[in-house]
Structure 1
Amino acid sequence: MTKKAIQLTTPLGDEVLTLRAGDRVELSGRVYTARDEVHLRMQKEGIPFDPRGAVIYHCGPVIKDDIIIAAGPTTSARMNTLSGFLLDAGVRGLIGKGGMDATVREQLMGRAVYFAFTGGCAALAASHMTLKGVHFPDLGMAEAVWVIELDRLPLVVGIDARGNDLFGTVLEKAKRAAGPGQSRDCR
Structure 2
Amino acid sequence: MEQTTKKIKRLDFPFTKEKLRGLEAGDSVLISGTIYTARDAAHKRLTELLDQEEKLPFDLKGAIIYYVGPTPEKPGYAIGAAGPTTSYRMDDYAPRFLDLGQSAMIGKGQRSKKVMEAAVRNGAVYFAAIGGAGALIARSIVKSQVIAFDDLGAEAVRELEVIDFPVTVVIDSKGNNLYEMGPAAYLEQKDGNKR
TM category (shorter chain) comes to 0.7 to 0.9
The Cα RMSD (Å) is 2.1
Identity of aligned residues (%): 42
Partner of 1:15: 19
> Does 119-128 or 15-24 show the bigger shift?
15-24
Secondary structure of the corresponding residue to residue 33 of structure 2:
strand
Q: Deviations over 1:128-162 (max 9, x none)?
A: 00234212111122x11111111001111000011
Secondary structure of the corresponding residue to residue 8 of structure 1:
strand
- Between the aligned partners of 2:60 and 2:143, the Cα distance in structure 1 is 18
- Between the aligned partners of 1:54 and 1:96, the Cα distance in structure 2 is 14
Partner of 2:59: 50
The AA in structure 2 aligned to 1:60 is G
The 4+ residue runs of structure 1 with deviation greater than 6 A are 171-175
Higher radius of gyration, 1 or 2: 2
Partner of 2:141: 129
The AA in structure 2 aligned to 1:118 is I
Count of residues in correspondence between the two structures: 175
Secondary structure of the corresponding residue to residue 181 of structure 2:
helix
Alignment of 1:83-162 (within 5 A): 83-109=94-120, 110-134=122-146, 135-141=148-154, 143-162=155-174
- Between the aligned partners of 1:60 and 1:174, the Cα distance in structure 2 is 33
- Between the aligned partners of 1:11 and 1:62, the Cα distance in structure 2 is 27
Q: Deviations over 1:21-50 (max 9, x none)?
A: 011110010111111011010011242101
* Length-normalised TM-score, structure 2: 0.82
- Between the aligned partners of 1:59 and 1:128, the Cα distance in structure 2 is 14
- Between the aligned partners of 2:45 and 2:179, the Cα distance in structure 1 is 29
CA drift at 1:73: 0.1
Q: Which runs of 5+ in 2 are unaligned?
A: 51-55, 188-195
